[in-house]
Amino acid sequence: MTIKTHYKKELKTKKGANYSVAHAGPFEDLHQFEVEHPRLKRNVPKFFLKDELGLTGMQVSLNRMPAGAAVPFYHKHKQNEELYIFIKGKGQMQIDGDIIEVSEGTSIRISPNGERTWRNTGDEDLYCICIQAKENSLSQETFEDGVPVERQVTWP
Amino acid sequence: MTIKTHYKKELKTKKGANYSVAHAGPFEDLHQFEVEHPRLKRNVPKFFLKDELGLTGMQVSLNRMPAGAAVPFYHKHKQNEELYIFIKGKGQMQIDGDIIEVSEGTSIRISPNGERTWRNTGDEDLYCICIQAKENSLSQETFEDGVPVERQVTWP
């Protein structure tokens, strides 16, 4: 399913052979990036990175939720693990009926079967990065997967 | 390889059947979470989420780089795609010799073979979230993988 986007602000991008870049700008502008939500039948503020950057191992969304707002449904997943990282603001995540207070620096892993929703309980915007990756798909990471490049770092 | 951690601050955690939570607190405290770096042979400030949360599809690090600091080496990867999301501060990413200016809202995908390093060029701390997932591992995402739960949302 293609994600249909509606951007009210220019997205600056750049590409190289082994990379791609998107400059969405300050998080307070995130509401200017909207997608059509097939369940809600309306546009919702959400900036998805996968199609913009050509990601192949994860989907990622950058989210800004205004004070007083809440996701109006529960959802779970078929294959994908989700990770929510809260950047700024105060809120609550509800998973299988449990309530978790969230604020700057709160990270939450949710298995596909967890029934989840979240809301802003503060007086300011709540900012969150949500990452999806296929459960059990990571074979190795960080110090096993990283390869040192034996060349002195220089900056032009 | 086990990642050896040295925390100077208590990490608050919580677990349920389908989720796990880590409250690292404000990003300005991130330097209190260190790991032993096998290449540099010293501790570096980095907070890895995989082991703390039991992630199975991704590794994620939360990073705070002080003004004037830089990663002292290039590295690439064997299997994993990397995504850097910059949260605050000013800096530069160098990939295959190209320079990319980074600031709040800049996202960069790097293929395994991209030779990368980054530095803080601003007067304040530079904050970045780095995510690793296996290249080409995502089968479906978001609206295909999400399953609506047909139950009215209630908050206690």
User: Is the four-CA dihedral A142, A146, A149, A155 of positive or negative sign?
Assistant: negative
Interchain contact B2–A (C-beta under 8 A):
no
The yes-or-no verdict on residue A16 having pLDDT over 80 is: yes
* Alpha helices (H) in chain A, listed in sequence order: 50-53
Nearest by CB to A20, from B61, B109, B139: name it.
B109
Q: What is the mean pLDDT of residues A25-41?
A: 92
Kindly report the CATH class assigned to B5-136: mainly beta
Higher pLDDT, B19 or A41: B19
Nearest by CB to B56, from A62, A98, A136: name it.
A136
Whether the full predicted model's pTM is greater than 0.90, yes or no, is yes
In chain B, domain spans: 5-136
Q: With beta carbons less than 8 A apart as the criterion, state whether A127 and A24 touch.
A: no
Contact between chains at B143 and A1 (C-beta distance less than 8 A): yes
Token couple for B40 = 């540099």
Q: What is the mean pLDDT of residues B13-27?
A: 97
Rounded Cα gap, residues B96 and B80, in angstroms: 17
Cα angle at B93 between B39 and B91, to 5 degrees? 105
The yes-or-no verdict on residue B1 having pLDDT over 80 is: no
Q: With beta carbons less than 8 A apart as the criterion, state whether A91 and A118 touch.
A: yes
3-state secondary structure of B90: coil
Reported ipTM: the value is: 0.97
Interchain contact B40–A (C-beta under 8 A):
no
Interchain contact B131–A (C-beta under 8 A):
yes
Chain B CB contacts of A114 below 8 Å: 16-19
Chain A CB contacts of B48 below 8 Å: 142
Residue of B62, B60, B70 whose CA lies nearest to B88:
B62
What is residue A2's predicted lDDT score, i.e. its pLDDT?
A: 80
pLDDT, tens only, B48-74:
999 999 999 999 999 999 999 999 999
